[in-house]
Amino acid sequence: MQKKRQFGHRARLALTPAQVRLVANQAHAARAMWNLLHDWWTMLPKDKRTLAAADAAIRQARKDIDWLAVLPAQASQSVLKAYFQAWKNCWEGRADAPNFKTRFRTVLSVDIPQGRDLQITRVHRRWGLVNIPKVGRVRFRWTRDLPVGRNANADNRITGARLVKDALGWHVSLRVQTLEAAPNPHAGPEVGIDAGVTIPLALSDGNHQDHGRQPRLPGGTADRDKWLNSDEKAKLLRLERRAAHRKSFRKPGRKASNRLKRIYDQIASLRARAKRRASDWQHQTTTELARTYGVIVVEKLDIPNMVRSARGTVERPGKNVAQKSGLNRAIAQEAWGRTVTMLTYKTARHGGTLHKVPAPNTSLRCSACGFITPGSRKDQATFACKNPLCGWSGNADHNAARNVLYLYRMGHALIPAAGRAVVRRTRGVKPAAAR
C-alpha cells in the first residue's frame, strides 16, 4: 500500500552580497506587508473585513508603494493567507491574536508557494541550484536526494519553499511531497525512555543515549554552552565581556551602535551553532531508536510547569532559587519536547508506535519492588530503595525508565481524545526485568 508523506528539508544558501540585499529587501517588504494588512484589518468595521477586500488592498498597495513591489505577487498572497490563518487559529483557541511584527524581533522570511518556480537542479555531489523569484539562480548545499528532474512527478515533487534567515545566514526550507510504501509493523522490542539531565535519554534496557557533553561549572550547575568546544567557549566569553563593556557607554534611550550590533551578531552565531549541533544529535539518536525498537514509551510531561521559576513573590519568596534556575536551564537545553516530536513521526515512518504514560511517581517508585519509600531518591543521579526487603540501587533515570515501561505493560498508556488524555487498558504481564 502506498502512502503520501510530506516533510521539510532545510539547506544553506550560498548568496552573493548583491543577492543577500535582494532577499533581505523582499523579507522586509513581506514584514511590512503584514503590518500594513494588520493595521488595515483592525481599522475596518467587522462587516467589511473580507478576503476579497484584503486582496484588493494588497494589490493596490503594491502599485502605490514602489518598495513593496520587490516582493513577488505570489509571496504577497502567502502573507495574506498566513494572516488569515493566524486569525483562524486565534478564533479556534490555538493561538493568540496576530500582532505587529517588529523589525529586530521578527525572523526574516519569504515564502515561495509554487514549487514550479524553484526549478531545482543538481550541479554535482555537493551543490544544487534553486531559482528564487526576482533574485535569480542561487547555489545551495545538496545533502539529500530530492524529487527533481526526471524523478519528479505528480506524487513525488517539491510543492514550495520558504527562505529563512538565522544567525548563520540564509537557508531555504523546501516542502517535499513523496509517495512511499506503507511500512510493515516493526518487530523490534519494547523500551521505556526517561528524559533526564544526568543522562539525556535513559532506556529501560540499559542502552542509555548520552551525548557526552555534561561539563559542570562551579556550584554544580550545568554548563549552558556544553555544545561548544573550549575555543568557542573562550571566544563567546570574550564577546560577552566586550558587549557588556560597550553597552556601559550607551546612554539610556539611545540605540545600540553598529559595532555593538556586530558583537551581538557574533554571539548569536555561536549560539545558533550550538543549537544546530544539539538538534543534529537529537535527529541521529531518535532515528536510531526508531529503527531499533518497535514500541517506545515515554512520559507525558508538563514541561512548562517543570521549568517554572522558583523565585516566588515578595510576600512569599522561593527557596533554592539559584539551584532551580540552573536545573531549568539544563532541562530547556535538552529540549525534551522536541525529542518526543521527533520520535513520534520517526516511529510511525519505521512501522513502530510511540505511547505516553502518566508521569507522577515514575522517579520515586522502585522498579524492583514497586514501593514508594521516602528518601529513596537521593539526588538527580542516584536511586537507592529504602525498603528493607529490597535495597535495590542504581541510576535514578534508569529506574524511572523501567517504571515507564512497566506502566505501559500494565495498561496505563494515554490516548489523546477530544483534547484530553484517557487511560487505555491493555493486557500485559509484569516483566521480570521490571519486578
* Cβ 158 vs Cβ 120: under 8 Å: yes
Within a domain: residue 342? yes
State the cell numbers at 392. 535495590
Neighbours of 170 (CB within 10 A): 23
* Cβ 414 vs Cβ 357: under 8 Å: yes
- Distance in angstroms (rounded) separating the CA atoms of residues 362 and 389: 20
Domain boundary among the residues 152, 182, 212 is at 182
- 53 and 126 in a single domain? The answer is yes
- Beta bridge partners of residue 3, listed in sequence order: 180
* Cβ 227 vs Cβ 277: under 8 Å: yes
Pairing of strands 136-141, 121-122: unpaired
- 143 and 201 in a single domain? The answer is no
- 126 and 202 in a single domain? The answer is no
- 352 and 289 in a single domain? The answer is yes
SS percent in the chain: helix, strand, coil, step 5: 40, 20, 40
Within a domain: residue 57? yes
- Distance in angstroms (rounded) separating the CA atoms of residues 402 and 392: 13
Query: In this predicted structure, what is the pLDDT of residue 417?
Result: 42
Query: In this predicted structure, what is the pLDDT of residue 161?
Result: 94
Within a domain: residue 7? yes
Domain boundary among the residues 132, 164, 182 is at 182
* Cβ 83 vs Cβ 97: under 8 Å: no
- Distance in angstroms (rounded) separating the CA atoms of residues 306 and 238: 33
Q: Return the half-sphere exposure (C-beta side, CA atoms, 13 A cut-off) of residue 118.
A: 30
Query: In this predicted structure, what is the pLDDT of residue 13?
Result: 94
Range of the domain at 99: 1-182
Domain boundary among the residues 154, 182, 210 is at 182
User: Coil, strand or helix: which one is 369?
Assistant: coil
- 176 and 196 in a single domain? The answer is no
- 204 and 173 in a single domain? The answer is no
- 99 and 119 in a single domain? The answer is yes
Query: In this predicted structure, what is the pLDDT of residue 415?
Result: 65
Within a domain: residue 350? yes
Within a domain: residue 176? yes
Query: In this predicted structure, what is the pLDDT of residue 422?
Result: 42
Query: In this predicted structure, what is the pLDDT of residue 3?
Result: 84
- Distance in angstroms (rounded) separating the CA atoms of residues 153 and 39: 42
* Cβ 367 vs Cβ 385: under 8 Å: no
Within a domain: residue 228? no
* Cβ 395 vs Cβ 406: under 8 Å: no
Per DSSP, helices labelled H in 293-319 are 303-306
Reported as a single tens digit per residue, the pLDDT across 15-56 is: 999 999 999 999 999 999 999 999 999 998 888 888 899 999
- Beta bridge partners of residue 177, listed in sequence order: 6, 157
Q: What is the mean pLDDT of each run of 10 residues along the chain (435 residues)?
A: 87 94 95 94 88 91 91 93 93 91 89 92 92 94 89 90 93 92 89 87 89 56 73 93 91 86 93 91 94 92 79 70 77 86 92 91 86 79 84 86 90 60 40 38
- 297 and 396 in a single domain? The answer is yes
Query: In this predicted structure, what is the pLDDT of residue 21?
Result: 96
Pairing of strands 169-181, 190-195: unpaired
Helix axes 321-334, 336-349, angle to 10 degrees: 20
Query: In this predicted structure, what is the pLDDT of residue 132?
Result: 94
Pairing of strands 413-417, 169-181: unpaired
Total structural domains within the chain: 2
- 100 and 64 in a single domain? The answer is yes
pTM for the full predicted model? 0.82
State the cell numbers at 7. 516533510
